[in-house]
Amino acid sequence: MRNLKSKWLMSALVVFLIIIVTIFIFNRKKPIPVVYPVVATQPVGVEDVNIYGEYVGRIRAQQFVEIHARVEGYLEKMFFDEGTYVSKGQTLFQIDPTLYRARMKRAEAQLNKAKAQALKAERDLNRIRPLFELNAASLLDLDNAIANYEGANADVAVCEADMVQAQMTLDYTTVKSPIAGYISERNADIGALVGPGSQSLLATIVKSDTVLIDFSMTSLEYLNSKSRNVNLGQTDTTRTWNPYVTVTMADGTVYPYQGLVNFADPQIDPKTGTFSVRAEMPNPDQILLPGQFTRVKLLMDVREDAIVVPTKSIVIESGGAFIYVVRPDSIVEKRFVELGPEIKNNTVVERGIIAGEHIVVEGYHKLTHGIKVEPVTNVEE
């Protein structure tokens, strides 16, 4: 009986201990897991970066020639259609040549007369000279014959010059194109009196299969280009690239051809602090019109193997710019950097980080220097 009671007490004690242990296990405090800030990271890479400058440019023709009347007269004919292409040497206008043709004939007659007088003077001299040698003519007679001969030849030279001048004046009545290009509307009507002076302009011709684009750059941009050994307007065979321009049309489209900078003013305008730059652009389809304003994009430099980071990863504060760099042990460092030019959504970093390091691109607002994070690699679209 006593043994039975002892066994019962023992069983009750075991059950009690089990219950106590179970209650202890379920009621003890569980350890709180450590949660690290989750940040998006991206490895730092290198790439060749094109540095551009954007400006307002004005287009002008490669050649712009005014056609003027060089002689006075009534405009008789026009041999072109306004606004069309004309060839070099093509006849454009005809000025009444009647007066100048008469002057030409007069000059021709004067020349023939002078030649006849010179021939007679030569014959007289040839007769006098043997007579003088035979003492049959005086020295005065010989001197007079020589003077007449030389004077007659001088008259021939004068008349020949008058003849050339008369011929040139007659030729000026036929107005020809000095260059090939597109001609404007006429500035004088048929039958109008034209000539040197206020009524001399007849039309203009524009050669625009190649155009020039003028724009201005600041003195700071000049210094920056010099620091990178870029001489605008000069071809450099040591580089794999040269400064070229593209233009954006009024409808926002980019003109399909590129032009090269072929001139940079050697001095800066003290009034504006800028200097003039000129580029030459092909224009075979006459899309670019002289006098037109356009947006110019100039390739100013190519940074080879540049450190480039997303601009959104950069934090700007009063002390400068910094980026959070994630070490291999997931500890972040607040790294101050020196920034270069910004290109679209990226920025060149001159100093402060190296290629291969991981930087925080999202989630840096919850970070401080030296904390541990849970990095998640950012996948660029």
The fold of 52-61+209-300 is Elongation Factor Tu (Ef-tu); domain 3 (2.40.30)
Query: Do 229 and 303 contact (CB within 8 A), yes or no?
Result: no
CATH code for residues 70-96+174-199: 2.40.50.100
If pLDDT is split at 50, 70 and 90, which confidence band does 381 have? very low
Q: Check pLDDT > 60 for residue 1.
A: no
Structure tokens given for 247: 């233009």
**Average of per-residue pLDDT values in the chain:** 85
Q: Considering the domain 97-172, what is its CATH architecture?
A: Orthogonal Bundle (1.10)
pLDDT tens figures, 264-276: 888 888 888 888 8
Q: Check pLDDT > 80 for residue 375.
A: yes
| Distance from C-alpha of 51 to C-alpha of 228, rounded to nearest angstrom | 11
Least trusted range by pLDDT, from 170-184, 234-248, 313-327: 234-248
| Distance from C-alpha of 256 to C-alpha of 183, rounded to nearest angstrom | 26
Least trusted range by pLDDT, from 20-29, 31-40, 108-117, 313-322: 20-29
Q: Check pLDDT > 80 for residue 29.
A: no
- Region 345-369: mean pLDDT is 86
- Region 280-290: mean pLDDT is 90
Which pLDDT belongs to residue 18?
72
Which pLDDT belongs to residue 268?
84
| Distance from C-alpha of 55 to C-alpha of 277, rounded to nearest angstrom | 11
Q: Which helix or strand (DSSP H or E) is residue 41 part of?
A: strand 38-43
Looking at residue 372, what DSSP letter applies? B
Alpha helix positions (H), the chain: 2-27, 98-133, 139-172, 219-227
Give the start-to-end residue ranges of the domains of the chain.
40-49+305-377, 52-61+209-300, 70-96+174-199, 97-172
Question: Residue 208's closest CA among 242, 191, 183, 243?
Answer: 183
Q: Considering the domain 40-49+305-377, what is its CATH architecture?
A: Beta Barrel (2.40)
